[in-house]
Amino acid sequence: MPTTAEVLERLLQPRHVQRVEVLLSSDRSSVERVTLAPGEGLADRLVVKHFLASSGFAREAAALSVLPTGLPVPALIAEDRAERVLVMTDVGDGPSVADALLGADPRAAQEALGAWVEALAKVHHSTGDLRNSFFAALAERGPDGLVKIAPMPEWLAGVPDALRAANAGLEVPLEVVDDLEALGAGLEEEEWETLSPGDTCPDNNVITGPCLALIDFEEADFRHVAWDLAYLRVPWPSCWCAWGIPEPVASAALGRYFTAMKGTAIGADRTTFDRIVEQATLAWALISASWFLPSGLRRNDTMGPPEFAAPPRRATVLERFRLAADTAESLGFLTLEKAARSWHQTVERIWGAQTLPTAPALR
């Protein structure tokens, strides 16, 4: 495999690499900050991302290639499709929303959440007409079978089988399928679909002063905006930093998003907006509970690696079943509400009562 310096010197001739600093490494990708020799036409610092999986490379490259300039995201400078390498602008150093939530300043945490939703709104506002462009860019880079509609409907439809497979003694009535189909149908309005980073976790961003940049588009897709917004309500369904967010704080952040989307179908009516976000909240609560229930049955650790300040796994799963039941009742999905309450009660009998702690900065 070529080194970062070799890839860059091929892509960015005649610029030469002076320094390479590892920023992040995982089983999916590695991210490095590169300092270039002084020259014209490029900044002296860039970020280079190496992908181990072709799907992650294809989605991030496709997304960054079609996003308009001026958005709070890295700009794509160059790509090596054979080596699955992206070269992007460096958005700078700074904490993330996760850092703010784990801190001690409630005002800073609330401002970080507000900056996050406003950055998300800028991306959503600018990408509603990019469906064809994004999927064309994805098809250029992706392996066979990669180009498909967002997987969330499949995940939602798979909840009954996933819960049965967990072998926790959960009763899953066949009638639940009807409620799930109706719930999924409510999240299919094309005028509410935009390009999403796909993994809008609170650590996938960088705060520099008053600005926040969204990073990590490995799961980028074109989907209903409520799938992103419900991250505030569940909260953070696919993430380790799944601490509770007080309802008034989440509502205030969503209000900032709604204001930023004025002039679009998404920002036209707050009652409709809130209901659709509630639908996505219910969907994510069920999907993520089904994801983490099996591991919760095996162990009572936290939602992240040992060195991460994450909430307890079992409390997180129980909170999502409770949230699903309450939200289903509010939305009128009474069969689903009854089933979710029974799932919560069954699992609580196994584990004992658990309460999801609030994010440290918001306690």
Instruction: For the chain, give every domain's residue range.
Output: 4-89, 97-362
d(CA 289, CA 340): 10
- Per-residue pLDDT tens listing for the chain (363 residues): 678 888 887 888 767 788 888 887 787 889 999 988 887 677 788 999 999 878 899 999 999 999 999 999 999 999 999 999 999 999 999 999 999 999 999 999 999 999 999 999 999 999 999 999 999 999 898 765 565 667 899 999 999 999 999 999 999 999 999 999 999 999 999 999 999 999 999 999 999 988 899 999 999 999 999 999 999 999 999 999 999 999 999 999 999 999 999 999 999 999 999 999 999 999 999 999 999 999 999 999 999 998 999 999 999 999 999 999 999 999 999 999 999 999 999 999 999 999 999 999 999
In SS3 terms, 139-185 reads as HHHCCCCCCCCCCHHHHHHCHHHHHHHCCCCCCCCCCHHHHHHHHHH
- The CATH number assigned to the domain with range 97-362 reads 3.90.1200.10
d(CA 288, CA 356): 15
d(CA 100, CA 334): 37
Cβ neighbours of residue 15 under 8 Å, at least 6 residues apart? Answer: 8, 9, 36, 37, 39, 42
d(CA 59, CA 308): 27
CATH number of this structure's domain 4-89, picked from the four choices 3.30.300.30, 3.20.80.10, 3.30.200.20, 3.30.930.10: 3.30.200.20
d(CA 354, CA 186): 31
